């Protein structure tokens, strides 16, 4: 059996940009994740490579984005003055305009393209771009901290090469921009498990959003209520996502692995831990489908560093010490972080709060099995459990 080949896409330029001191999205998290991987020895494994990247080209970006929108992004990116164009979603609290904005967004998109290219053309088993996963970017509008939809740009390239792609989104927010891009095609299946849009951004991602035309049945959403814990989340994954991935049997799986589902994330209301997060990723790994992972959300910096270090270890079949390395503890302590452990204990939400969440996910699963499973599992010769 040949060893697993993996690639981490990482550019030192990722840290050169800033959404603003008061913005919840901190690019510092990439550096923390990189440093924690390094402290565990995960950046010098025998069958892995660290690859740099270059910004996505205009041709790549135009495979999805509107030319007028890209032109405005470029214009604002070089401006010395604060700018706003709400028609394109630019300049509000979520998507601020800052010097070098276009360079930052294009570099992240280029990193995702490189991850996909390495898996497609160079035979890597898995590739990881921490600075990717901007699933809220629309064709002509920035949204939800996202300016360019790197996943769509990269998947479009794969589709043009005749590949069938499964996009799995486990971020706390619905992957609305990616769903929108593939709502009418059966060549890409999108599965998003997220906090419910009834009360949570972006207000989409309900069970009845199943695609249209040739794409009917290929958009799958599992909305979750607040206080969804490890066991409830794994129920959604095991009963919906996993059998559909196996049935669709894609050439490549692209996952957005945001860590804002964790119970201590300041912007969300789910209650999962490293326990279910690692279980999900391990099951994806076991499918042995060429795999590209993208960072996505995560607004507790140490949660994000721990999650993505664990993800990278899983991609490389490495088991880590559950205690953080002393060198990393010494580095983060002066910054006010008091974390000492890599892994969380499995979490069970308060019974009064989890009961509605469990009832809601059971209702969603039942509906999906009635509307999605007969067509998808039947088409590919599988049966539901």
- Mind telling me the catalytic residues? 136
Distance between CA atoms of 291 and 116, rounded to whole angstroms? 8
How far is residue 184's CA from residue 215's CA, in Å, rounded to a whole number? 4
CB 178 within 8 Å of CB 148: no
8-state DSSP, 216: T
Residue 253: asked if its preceding bond is cis (omega within 30°), the reply is no
H/E stretch holding 222: strand 219-224
Sorted by sequence, the CB contacts under 8 Å of residue 81 that are 6+ apart come out as none
Q: Contact at 8 Å (CB) between 190 and 182? A: yes
Total residues belonging to the chain: 385
Report the Cα 316 to chain-centroid distance in Å: 19
CA distance 94 to 90: 9
Q: Rounded CA gap, 42 and 313, in Å?
A: 7
Chain centroid to CA 10: how far?
16
Task: State the DSSP string of 228-294.
Answer: -BHHHHHHHIIIIIHHHHHHH--SEEEEE--STTBTT-TT---BB-HHHHHHHHHHHHHTT--EEEE
DSSP 61-129: HTTTS-HHHHHHHHHHHT-SS---BGGGTBSSSSS---TTHHHHHHHHHHHHHHHHHHHHHS--SEEEE
Contact of 322 with 342, CB cutoff 8 Å: yes
CB 354 within 8 A of CB 226: no
Phi and psi angles of residue 51, each rounded to the nearest 5 degrees, phi first: -115, 135
CA distance 199 to 222: 15
């Amino acid at each position: 059996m040949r060893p697993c080949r993996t690639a981490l896409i990482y550019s030192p330029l990722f840290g050169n940009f800033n959404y603003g001191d008061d913005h919840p999205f901190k690019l510092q998290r990439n550096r923390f994740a990189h440093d924690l991987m390094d402290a565990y020895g995960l950046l010098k494994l025998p069958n892995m490579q660290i690859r740099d990247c270059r910004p996505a080209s205009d041709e790549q970006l135009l495979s999805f984005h509107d030319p007028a929108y890209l032109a405005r992004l470029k214009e604002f990116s070089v401006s010395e003055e604060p700018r706003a164009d709400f028609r394109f979603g630019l300049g509000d609290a979520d998507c601020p305009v800052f010097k070098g904005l276009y360079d930052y967004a294009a570099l992240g998109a280029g990193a995702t393209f490189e991850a996909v290219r390495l898996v497609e053309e160079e035979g890597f088993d898995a590739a990881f771009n921490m600075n990717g996963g901007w699933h809220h970017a629309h064709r002509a509008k920035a949204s939800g901290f996202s300016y360019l939809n790197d996943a769509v740009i990269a998947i479009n390239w794969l589709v043009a090469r005749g590949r069938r792609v499964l996009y799995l989104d486990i971020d706390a927010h619905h992957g609305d921009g990616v769903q929108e891009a593939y709502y009418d095609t059966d060549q890409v299946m999108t599965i998003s498990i997220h906090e419910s849009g009834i009360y949570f951004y972006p207000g989409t991602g309900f069970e009845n959003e199943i695609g249209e035309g040739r794409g009917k049945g290929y958009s799958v959403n599992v909305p979750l209520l607040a206080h969804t814990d490890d066991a409830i989340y794994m129920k959604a994954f095991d009963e919906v996502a996993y059998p559909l991935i196996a049935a669709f049997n894609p050439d490549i799986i692209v996952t957005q692995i945001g860590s804002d589902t964790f119970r201590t994330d300041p912007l969300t209301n789910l209650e999962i831990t490293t326990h279910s997060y690692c279980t999900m990723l391990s099951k994806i790994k076991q499918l042995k489908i060429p795999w590209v992972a993208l960072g996505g959300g995560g607004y507790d910096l140490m949660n994000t560093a721990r999650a993505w270090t664990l993800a990278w270890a899983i991609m490389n079949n490495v088991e880590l010490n559950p205690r953080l390395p002393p060198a990393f503890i010494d580095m983060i302590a002066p910054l006010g972080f008091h974390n000492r452990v890599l892994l969380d204990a499995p979490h069970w939400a308060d019974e009064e709060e989890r009961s509605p969440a469990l009832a809601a996910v059971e209702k969603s699963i039942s509906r999906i099995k009635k509307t999605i499973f007969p067509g998808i599992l039947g088409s590919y010769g599988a049966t539901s459990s």
